[in-house]
Amino acid sequence: MGHILHGLSLRVAEGEVVAMLGRNGAGKTTTLRCITGLNPPRRGEIRYQGRSIAGAPPHRIARMGIALVPETRDIFSYLTVKENLVIAQRARSRWRMETVLGRFPKLAERLANKGRELSGGEQQMLAIARALLTGPELLLLDEPSQGLAPLVVNAVMDTIRGLKAERVSMLLVEQNAEMALQLADRVYVIDHGTVVFEGTPAALRAERQVTATYLGVGG
Amino acid sequence: MALLETKSLTKSFGALTAVDGVSLAVEAGALHSIIGPNGAGKTTLFNLLTGTFAPSSGDILLDGRRITGTPAHRVAHLGIARSFQRTNVFPALSLLDNVWIAAFARSPSWSGLLWRHTERDPELVSTARRALADVGLAGKADQPARTISHGEQRQLELAIALAAAPRVLLLDEPAAGLSPEETRRMVALVRSLKGRYTIVLIEHKMDIIMSVSDRISVMHFGRLIAEGTPAEIQRDPEVRRAYLGGVAA
């Protein structure tokens, strides 16, 4: 299999929400997996708080304060919702069980259910809640709104705004371009494993050709 | 005339009633959407319609005939096909093989299965190729399914359902994980299928639902709380409170 990423450079400053938009297969998920150590990069650097982390084992990267909400959710299907959350809780995290359950009341209703008994959307909420309980300093979100009812998308957006106020840095991959543009400070558009646009949401909206493809405007 | 109908369909898992007395009528050739909060019972409803689960009570009728309790493999032969919320393709097989299997499984005769292992019924192959072309994946027919992107796998999902030549298509969040451009393609594809197939669609992307649906039913806690045209549903205050009000995806 060939290279997926081709000289992709991006940065996330402390307290920034950075969005990655792009077609499926463009390399967005691969980028997140490189950062978390799940896919070591063939070449290039990944620096977190000044330290090189490329190729470091995922558990070590997680302990540095980087959390991932994967597109595939990857919750523990044989553990209950409560167990999934309890094992994620870190002492240092300001997020506790009550706060995440307050954000996603549906999870409170399903605490005793095993992960595999949850609907797709409920699993998505659990994946987000679990990442929050680890108290991340850098939160990577891979299509967090996928499969979520509009009201829950609102809750996710509120959560992201709340995290930003706490100076949590976020790298957000979203197909819901409108959602991403409302939340992001800066946006990268990725195509064929490289950056084809970098700028503010306003600047992206002004790029007619790019907006036609990524915002579904015109076309 | 309702092609697909449910009468007080109910499914309980122990103390949880996932589908609660749902009575639905889907007109032939119509596109009927099911929307509702996460965990409302939409996919469970699909599982009942496809015979994956047997209902606790109530009935399912196809063309006026009771098909309640028909096991899943027979339901497929009755002409009901579905796509899945979590992509369910054979990763090691080529796209063509993935789709061909569906076409083959539905073909009337299994004779020749043993001696035809190196050659295939050209009609089934062309059915498979047509399904791939319908979803825009003809160019990748020989690639293993695991090598195509997530969005393309969603399209393959749909091609597999189409290759089974159904009368009724149950589509479970076909646009999940698709980029805006791919979503547009998927919507155009679903629109092109209207009339040719009777379609029941689960989706959370409201712009899709509102633009393609003839009729919308809203589920909440397993029950139907509203049903009507897209305009009626958009105005319904209970639906707005329980479900809508977010950023349109």
pLDDT of residue B149: 79
Q: Taking residues A136-163, what's their average pLDDT?
A: 92
pLDDT of residue B246: 43
Q: Taking residues B18-41, what's their average pLDDT?
A: 95
pLDDT of residue B86: 77
* pLDDT higher than 80, residue A35: yes
* pLDDT higher than 70, residue A72: yes
Q: Given CA atoms A174, A179, A184, A189 in this order, what sign does their dihedral have?
A: positive
In A, minimum Cα distance to B202 occurs at A147
Q: Do B148 and A106 touch (CB under 8 A)?
A: no
Give A113 to chain B, closest Cα distance, Å.
10
List CB contacts (< 8 A) between B177 and chain A: 24, 71, 143, 146, 175
Half-sphere exposure of A39 (CA within 13 A, CB side): 15
Residue in A118, A120, A150 closest to B244 by CB: A150
Residue in B178, B242, B246 closest to A175 by CB: B178
Residue B187: C-alpha distances to residues B173, B212, B222 (Å):
12, 8, 27
Give the confidence band of B111 by pLDDT, cuts at 50, 70, 90: low
pLDDT of residue B120: 74
pLDDT of residue B41: 94
Say if CB B190 and CB B199 are below 8 A apart.
Answer: yes
Q: Do A118 and B39 touch (CB under 8 A)?
A: yes
Cα A186 to Cα B176: distance, rounded to the nearest angstrom:
24
Side by side, which strands form the sheet with A194-199? A66-69, A138-142, A169-173, A17-22, A186-191, A194-199
Q: Taking residues A104-130, what's their average pLDDT?
A: 92
pLDDT of residue A128: 94
Q: Do A151 and B37 touch (CB under 8 A)?
A: yes
pLDDT of residue B245: 63
Q: Which residue has the higher pLDDT, B102 or B202?
A: B202
Q: Give strand ranges (E) for chain B.
A: 2-13, 16-27, 31-35, 57-62, 65-66, 80-83, 168-172, 198-202, 215-220, 223-228
Please return the burial class of B118, using the count of CB atoms within 10 Å of its CB with bins 0-12, 13-18 and 19+. exposed
List CB contacts (< 8 A) between B37 and chain A: 106, 121, 149, 151-152
Q: Do A149 and B245 touch (CB under 8 A)?
A: no
Neighbouring-strand partners of residue B6 = B24, B60
Those residues with Cβ within 8 angstroms of residue B216's Cβ, 6 or more apart along the chain or in another chain: B32, B33, B34, B35, B209, B226, B227, B228, B229, B230, B233
Contacts 24+ apart (CB under 8 A), B233-238: B233/B35, B234/B210
Neighbouring-strand partners of residue B60 = B6
Q: Which of A67-76, A98-107, B78-87 has the lowest mean pLDDT?
A: B78-87
Q: Taking residues A54-65, what's their average pLDDT?
A: 92
Q: What is the DSSP string of B61-118?
A: EETTEE-TT--HHHHHHHTEEEE-SS----TTSBHHHHHHHHHHHHSS--TTTTTTSS
Q: Taking residues A200-214, what's their average pLDDT?
A: 86
Residue in B151, B184, B243 closest to A150 by CB: B243
Which residue is listed with tokens 């393709």? B89
* pLDDT higher than 70, residue B114: no
pLDDT of residue B47: 95
Closest by alpha carbon to A26, among A205, A138, A184, A188?
A: A188
Q: Which residue has the higher pLDDT, A183 or B154?
A: A183
Q: Taking residues B204-220, what's their average pLDDT?
A: 93
Closest by alpha carbon to A193, among B139, B249, B149, B145?
A: B149
pLDDT of residue A26: 81
Q: What percent of chain B has pLDDT over 90?
A: 61
Half-sphere exposure of B199 (CA within 13 A, CB side): 28
Which of B146, B181, B209, B236 is the best residue to mutate to test the A interface, defined by the most A CB atoms within 10 Å of its own CB?
B181
Give the confidence band of A219 by pLDDT, cuts at 50, 70, 90: very low
* pLDDT higher than 80, residue A4: no
Q: Do B177 and A24 touch (CB under 8 A)?
A: yes
* pLDDT higher than 80, residue B107: no
Strand B65-66 and strand B57-62: pairing? antiparallel
Burial pattern B31-59, b for ≥16 Cβ within 10 A else e, equals bbbbbbbbbbbbbbbbbbbbbebebeebe
Instruction: Tally DSSP H helices, then E strands, for chain A.
Output: 10, 8
Q: CA B97: distance to chain centroid?
A: 20
* pLDDT higher than 70, residue A215: no
Task: State pLDDT tens for residues B30-83.
Answer: 999 999 998 899 999 999 999 999 999 999 999 999 999 999 989 988 999 998
Cα B225 to Cα B238: distance, rounded to the nearest angstrom:
8
pLDDT of residue B154: 86
Residue B222: C-alpha distances to residues A102, B18, B40, B225 (Å):
23, 5, 5, 9
Q: Which residue has the higher pLDDT, B121 or A206?
A: A206
Task: State pLDDT tens for residues B160-208.
Answer: 999 988 999 999 999 888 888 888 888 988 998 888 899 999 998 888 9
Closest by alpha carbon to A103, among A88, A75, A72, A125?
A: A125
Count of C-beta atoms within a 10 Å radius of residue B114 = 7
Q: Taking residues B152-157, what's their average pLDDT?
A: 88
Give A179 to chain B, closest Cα distance, Å.
7
ipTM: 0.72
Q: How many residues does the structure list for chain B?
A: 249
Give A161 to chain B, closest Cα distance, Å.
14
Say if CB B48 and CB B26 are below 8 A apart.
Answer: no
Q: What percent of chain B has pLDDT over 70?
A: 93
Say if CB B70 and CB B63 are below 8 A apart.
Answer: no
Q: Which residue has the higher pLDDT, B8 or B180?
A: B8
Which residue is listed with tokens 């319609």? B49
Say if CB A201 and CB A191 are below 8 A apart.
Answer: no
Q: Do B247 and A150 touch (CB under 8 A)?
A: yes
Q: Taking residues A188-213, what's their average pLDDT?
A: 89
Give A92 to chain B, closest Cα distance, Å.
31
Closest by alpha carbon to A180, among A165, A201, A159?
A: A201
